[in-house]
Chain A
Amino acid sequence: DGGITQSPKYLFRKEGQNVTLSCEQNLNHDAMYWYRQDPGQGLRLIYYSQIVNDFQKGDIAEGYSVSREKKESFPLTVTSAQKNPTAFYLCASSTPTGVGYGYTFGSGTRLTVV
């Protein structure tokens, strides 16, 4: 059964640590995305990748890094430079279908700084 898997579901980070959030999809989608959700802020785009070995910054890329070495995988690293990392992180993937296209989202990772 195809889908997107995000892990872990809950993650705790100490101040100054880097952490990596996993996102894997078996939908054969070309494009993948990382969003951050904060209360009252909606979904804000961090990074996206439309093809393997290529990615672009979104609206709030500072303090984050990504890689896209495989079509199925798009891990997100939250670095110590991200000043306010506590949030709910969502990964999505898509493939263009006709006029428009929709995303398939993972179930999210809640990151908390302790």
Chain B
Amino acid sequence: DQQVKQNSPSLSVQEGRISILNCDYTNSMFDYFLWYKKYPAEGPTFLISISSIKDKNEDGRFTVFLNKSAKHLSLHIVPSQPGDSAVYFCAANPSGNTPLVFGKGTRLSVIA
């Protein structure tokens, strides 16, 4: 049973517009959430994170929003650039030292 769900396998956005990637989770004990970006044939790289005590975290063009009551988080990229084209993974940190739980990823294509 998937605890972290990314229901959109792919997303296409025009350059300069906003990209919104969504992630839902089922475990209310998750206390930290992360987004990773992955290019083909490379390892994922950390993008941005948010603690469950916050509802927003911003880093340049990237903003993550957390809605705990809905168990939903989203990653906003504004403005989108062709170099943002990649697979984005949402991940959640269970309590203790158990490994991160990853979603299946969303492939973002930014069209010039």
Q: Which 4 pairs show the lowest CB-CB distances between chains A and B?
A: A100-B32, A105-B43, A42-B104, A43-B102
Within residues 87 to 112 of chain B, which ones have a CB less than 8 A from any CB in chain A?
89, 93, 97, 99-100, 102-105
Q: Specify which chain B residues have a CB less than 8 angstroms from the CB of A101 in the assembled complex.
A: 32, 93
Contact mask B38-80 → A, CB, 8 Å, 1/0?
0001111110010101000000000000000000000000000
Specify which chain A residues have a CB less than 8 angstroms from the CB of B6 in the assembled complex: 42
Q: A31-B97, A96-B97, A99-B31 are in contact. Are A90 and B43 (CB under 8 A)?
A: yes
User: Inside 8 A of B34's CB, which chain A residues have their CB?
Assistant: 100, 102
> Is the C-beta of A2 less than 8 angstroms from some C-beta in chain B?
no
Residues of B within 8 A of A103 (CB): 36, 44, 46, 100
Pairs A–B under 8 Å by Cβ, sample size 7: A6-B43, A42-B102, A50-B97, A90-B44, A96-B97, A100-B31, A102-B46
* Bound CA span A7–B40, Å: 17
Name B33's closest neighbour in chain A (CB-CB).
A100
Pair A99/B43 contact, Cβ less than 8 Å: no
Q: Say whether A108 contacts B41, CB under 8 Å.
A: yes
Task: Write the nearest CB–CB distance from B57 to chain A, whole angstroms.
Answer: 12
Known pairs A99-B32, A99-B51, A100-B51; A40 contacts B104 (CB<8 A): yes
Does A110 lie at the interface of the complex (its beta carbon under 8 Å from any beta carbon of B)?
Answer: yes
Main secondary structure of the interface of B (DSSP, over half): loop
**Chain A interface (Cβ < 8 Å from any Cβ of B):** 4, 6, 31, 33, 35, 40-43, 45, 48, 50, 58, 88, 90, 92, 96, 99-108, 110
Q: Determine whether B16 belongs to the interface, using a CB cutoff of 8 Å to chain A.
A: no
Taking the complex as formed, is B9 at the interface, i.e. its CB lies under 8 A from any CB of chain A?
yes
Task: Point out the residues of chain B lying under 8 angstroms from A33, CB to CB.
Answer: 99
Task: Tell me the complex Cα distance, A24–B61, Å.
Answer: 33
**Nearest chain B residue, comparing its CB with the CB of A41:** B104
Residue from the list B36, B43, B46, B53 in contact with A106, Cβ < 8 A: B43
